[in-house]
């Protein structure tokens, strides 16, 4: 099973766009998505403040990896799905 974490913030149209585009792949791939608001956690804010949205992905037994930020990189996402 694949799991994505989207580091986001409220009122961020880029964040909303990335989540919507990611969810469009749910018909073809099985995955879960957790959306975390960076403004709700000082540590996350320090890590991702200027980069949101940031999409991280993890497959069973593997380390989490950064897939993209700002805009959904479809090539990187497809490479993650097929790796």
pLDDT of residue 1: 85
* Cα four-point dihedral sign 24, 28, 32, 38: negative
The domains of the chain are located at: 2-82
Confidence class for position 8, pLDDT limits 50, 70, 90: very high
pLDDT of residue 55: 98
Return phi, psi of residue 25, to 5°: -90, -5
Tell me the per-residue pLDDT of 68-80, one tens digit each, with 9 for 90 and over: 999 999 999 999 9
**pLDDT grade for 2, boundaries at 50, 70 and 90:** very high
Give the pLDDT of residue 60. 87
Cα gap 43→35, rounded to integer Å: 15
Hey, which CATH number is domain 2-82, 3.40.30.10, 3.40.50.720, 3.40.640.10, 3.30.210.10? 3.40.30.10
| 33-52 pLDDT, tens digit each | 999 999 999 999 999 999 99
């Amino acid at each position: 099973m694949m799991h994505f974490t989207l580091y986001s913030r409220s009122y961020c149209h880029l964040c909303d766009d990335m989540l919507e585009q990611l969810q469009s792949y749910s018909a073809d791939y099985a995955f879960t998505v957790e959306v975390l608001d960076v403004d709700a956690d000082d540590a996350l804010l320090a890590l991702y403040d200027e980069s949101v949205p940031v999409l991280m992905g993890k497959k069973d037994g593997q380390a989490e990896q950064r897939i993209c930020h700002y805009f959904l990189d479809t090539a990187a996402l497809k490479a993650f799905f097929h790796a």
